[in-house]
Amino acid sequence: MPRSATDRRRRRFPATFLIVLAMALAALGTPAFATSPAVRTTTAADASLPCDIYAAGGTPCVTAHSTTRALFAAYNGPLYQIQRSSDRAYRDVGVLAAGGYADAASQVSFCAGTSCTITKIYDQTSRHNDLPISWGGYWKGPGPNGSDVGADAMALPVTAAGHQVFGVKVTPGVGYRLDHASGVATGAQPEGIYMVTSSNYTNQWCCFDYGSGENSHTDTGNATMNAIYWGNACWFGGCTGSGPWVEADLENGMFHTNTGSNKDPNNPGVHHPFVSAWLKNNGTTNFTLKYGNGASGGLTTTFSGPLPNGYSPMKVDSSVLLGTGGDNSPSGQGEFFEGAMTTGYPSDATENAVQASITAAGYGTGGGGGGTPGPLRAVGAGKCLEVPGGSTTPGTQTQIRDCTGAANQTWSQSTAHELTVSVGGSRLCLDASGQGTSPGTKVITWSCNGQSNQQWTLNADGTVTGAPSGLCLDVTGAATANGTPVQLWTCNGQSNQRWTLD
């Protein structure tokens, strides 16, 4: 039943003419949005979000899961739930405004000085198909009584339209699942699925999935699953390239095609920081696989044809899963930002319009959370910039030390020109102390605040300069000993002012 007007958790408006316009433009190959993703804002008046588009196409969403943004223009409820380890308290992370992006700042403050786990991913539809941590299955997870575990809430910081948000980093053993979900396709009923993931973190094992699985959490035979698999698996052997690829987990096999393997020389693998992955299955005669760059462009169809032998008609069960296989195979890994499942077999025009909505969301690896993280190495000393002892105390002066690969030596550069580090569940920025602009100013860590003394330029000559001062990041006294502090100093071309961000 629809929620009342006072239920802020799940509200949506009927689809409007804007959705139809977006679909028509996408079908013509015309971008549905002219506004730059970096400045685009989403409000309840914007009816071009994925599940509004699916509804307008006659294939409504029956699940809508995301930790980054609303998937309905009118949605104004929680996106996901987190629990912090220090006191076991819970918090729901919602959106900044109806139809908008996640309020990640509430997570950052809630988790400061401790660690947090994603314990539930809310369904934005009125069906309440929320995903809790899976209780396990035939393959046992690493949690209590063989259950799976939740993802580290701070492990996947990214941006969407310049807003800091967090994805779900599925490491082996992480899994979410709801059995007997409401309204999802079962048996041979048609179904569409998409998710936004990444090429940055994959493996060849079973199974980083999103879609339909068995309520029993055991393998109940061919055709009892219909889920997107994303990874490097070549289940049937003889694949072209090394992946990762979009595949269909139909149980007892991840299928690139109806015969199993990928023989397409034009499909050796998909490599984008953000990838949209697509599967639709009419239950009897056809399944289709597609992918897209989650930041720009349209969709590529890698297969559309008959179901594999022995898989028609489908016998899909009503469990919804994320991160594991149908029998709880827990060894896959991947990243998840958003996804939805539909009733019916979505049209190409509908999927093209949803892809336009994804690219308009403005996913990026900078701004609030970081690009690909790595060590910031001091060339002259051959050592790494670190936060001493992994301190979460704002004002801690940074120093150099032998490179260990630890979190307190792992930095990310954002599109906002910040250099960020995540320690003890806290995200901190490299900061010129006291907004100083004179030689000798201490370089510290501080809570990220967007001010210019937290903006840095990585120059082609290896220097790192502060935005307001133009001074160079400098290892004090050109020393090479562990514990040498770092400061700002007049740029002089010496090796103690040269850095590499690996």
Q: Could you say which of 209, 251, 338, 351 is catalytic? A: 251
Please enumerate in sequence order all residues whose Cβ is within 8 A of that of 6, keeping only pairs 6 or more positions apart, or say none: none
C-alpha 433/C-alpha 440 separation (Å) is 10
Please enumerate in sequence order all residues whose Cβ is within 8 A of that of 130, keeping only pairs 6 or more positions apart, or say none: 120, 121, 122, 123, 178
Residue recorded with tokens 């001074």: 471
Distances (CA, A) of 126 to 4, 64, 340: 10, 10, 13
Angle formed by the axes of helices 348-360 and 17-27, to 10°?
100
Q: Could you say which of 148, 327, 335, 338 is catalytic? A: 327
- What the block records as the tokens of 490 is 């007049």
Q: Give the CA count within 13 Å in the CB-facing half-sphere of 476.
A: 16
Cα angle: 93, vertex 94, 97; to 5 degrees: 150
Cα angle: 344, vertex 192, 238; to 5 degrees: 135
Q: Is 123 a catalytic residue?
A: no
C-alpha 99/C-alpha 47 separation (Å) is 9
- What the block records as the tokens of 427 is 């995200």
Asked if the peptide bond before residue 313 counts as cis, ω within 30 degrees of 0, the response is yes
- What the block records as the tokens of 498 is 């040269």
Q: Is 219 a catalytic residue?
A: no
Please give, one letter per residue, the 3-state secondary structure of 311-347: CCCCCECCEEEECCCCCCCCCCCEEECEEEEEECCCC
Task: Name the CA dihedral angle for 204, 205, 210, 216, rounded to a multiple of 10 degrees.
Answer: 160
C-alpha 38/C-alpha 387 separation (Å) is 31
Name the phi and psi angles at 472, rounded to 5: -95, 145
Amino acid (1-letter code) at residue 206: C
Whether residue 471 contacts residue 488, with contact meaning beta carbons closer than 8 Å, is answered with yes
Name the phi and psi angles at 379, rounded to 5: -60, -45
Residue recorded with tokens 């980054």: 68
Whether residue 147 contacts residue 91, with contact meaning beta carbons closer than 8 Å, is answered with no
C-alpha 485/C-alpha 399 separation (Å) is 4
Whether residue 93 contacts residue 375, with contact meaning beta carbons closer than 8 Å, is answered with no
C-alpha 151/C-alpha 167 separation (Å) is 9
User: What residues act catalytically?
Assistant: 251, 327
